[in-house]
Structure 1
């Protein structure tokens, strides 16, 4: 799963990592931090190597590098990512990362609006223009004409089996669950890494138009995959989808009643800049040792650190069992955690 920025990808990642942990699957993990070299190009030297030589899941932030990722993942890997309307995504990026300070916008009251009046006059970085295309591995030279943008969209469409639409997260999850043969319980979730309403800013119609023009590559990408997404939904069946959404929301409500005592801000393990407030969850006393409740509320940094520790232990045990040798690579890990050669 190519983890994009400010698009609901942390919630999707949490679902995938919980599934990995439940079934003892092998995850591509960073040697340091919680990102796979981002924002630099992906380097295989940055990952914790599994001595058995193959992985089941890659879902931490990475700049997509097809050849390197293909070398890690099995041939039957499913490639997914998630997009959000770039208008709202850009507002979220700009304020979550306080990009006004980064590019030195001189405005204390509304740095985003000030930036949009003359975006070409500010320093450029990977967050300030077409961030989706950057995450997908492309650069400004790749998206500087309409024809090149269309070429990028065609390339992405060929590589990715499924593109989530953030605004229709439940529908996206249901389509994924059928593709992966997962249960409703597997896709139950609490939204994670969501800004508190005090850290969001209104976007005016004028700002919407400016963001569309400035991030035209991302906007065209989103429009295309929003259209193909709905083609999949209609093929799945509208009535069938509504029933499954109801079932999913009922399952989520059961977990809320079982797990959640309160919603707070900037809890332990939540990454945030000063002045930015992120929702986090306080568990009920009865749920503090509940593995499922803990997993569903676990922040990305904490989850990654725990999986890294677990991976290092597994690597050590594997080498001891194989007398220090790497052993032969296997094709996949079965759902009960056994190695199948």
Structure 2
């Protein structure tokens, strides 16, 4: 990457992160699989946790792991300080998930972006704090989902009981001790985050957060069907905006308003495209492969070259150019999608959302 690349990241309270990890990865992480609930795991983590087993990184110091460090290292202040210093050398801005709107304001000013560049809707949302009968809680996601006909109250049976994420205050404290390296990072960068807000100005931050939320509400009415109520994935007909389902917990998504003009649809889709589909799109931009024309086919290449991303590892497909063109369709941003496996084929730069 260029020397002046701007690196930023975001952190989350280790307790909230553990709740999310347990919900998403209960069937993936061996440390979670046999625990009756998150509290059961926290009461005796060493009973369930084996650092040698694959995917157990989800169960301890996940922030530390994501920053490229050994999540199984024994905590010491010296090690934690060294890790913090290493992160600060690379990342110019660390945001905080619990203060997402304030984070977006700091980010937009750091990168000189317009307000609309950081307007977003909640994506990859799971049902929060499920109760013992597997019904969604009173969170905004839960209320909207129940109103939209999701869950047991709407008469739909659950295939499996949702994970029990309830914790006592004592268990929350034990969870912070179990994730001591993460807790150290969170406290350190949370302190820096609020120092940055003080430099920015608390009053100015309040004004800009209010503008951001107002703009989100306006775009929600413009973009989202049924007032922006999140819906279960099976209700979303467009596969390009259907969220991937991880484990037992249902991941909700959105449907677009019908009849949007092309420019508005482009802007709206950028705010609701799920992470996996967005990753495929970014992959096609970051790792383009120039199509080598066969003899007599030079005229088929667009000026400046055409680019495709061929991922044969997913499907083993091998197509001639003509066959591939027949099986691709253009996406909203000019990328092409293989109908067979939904791998994105970027062919031109996206319009910028201004």
Q: Indicate the residue corresponding to 2:175 in structure 1.
A: 211
Q: Distance in 2 between matches of 1:134 and 1:312?
A: 25
> Structure 1's 111 and 276: CA in aligned 2 closer, same or farther, altered over 3 A?
same
> Structure 1's 260 and 142: CA in aligned 2 closer, same or farther, altered over 3 A?
same
> Shift of residue 136 of structure 1?
0.7
Q: Indicate the residue corresponding to 1:22 in structure 2.
A: none
Q: Indicate the residue corresponding to 1:263 in structure 2.
A: 230
> Structure 1's 303 and 81: CA in aligned 2 closer, same or farther, altered over 3 A?
same
Answer 1 or 2: higher relative contact order, Cα 8 Å, separation at least 6: 1
The answer to whether 1:193 aligns with 2:119 is no
Answer with 315-324 or 80-89: which moved more: 315-324
User: How many residues were matched structurally?
Assistant: 254
> Shift of residue 88 of structure 1?
0.8
1:1-341 correspondence to structure 2 within 5 Å: 73-98=1-26, 102-103=30-31, 105-107=33-35, 110-122=36-48, 123-124=50-51, 125-140=56-71, 142-197=73-128, 198=136, 201-261=165-225, 262-266=229-233, 267=236, 268=239, 269-287=242-260, 290-309=265-284, 315-316=290-291
- Aligned CA RMSD, in angstroms, stands at 3.0
Q: Is the 8 A contact 2:61 2:179 kept in 1?
A: yes
> Shift of residue 335 of structure 1?
11
Q: Which runs of 5+ in 2 are unaligned?
A: 129-135, 137-161, 307-348
Answer with 231-240 or 257-266: which moved more: 257-266
Answer with 130-139 or 190-199: which moved more: 190-199
Q: Secondary structure at the match of 2:173?
A: helix
Q: Is the 8 A contact 1:287 1:293 kept in 2?
A: no
Larger Rg: 2
Q: Is the 8 A contact 1:105 1:114 kept in 2?
A: no
Q: Which runs of 5+ in 1 are unaligned?
A: 1-72, 325-333
> Structure 1's 291 and 315: CA in aligned 2 closer, same or farther, altered over 3 A?
same
Q: TM-score, normalised by structure 1?
A: 0.67
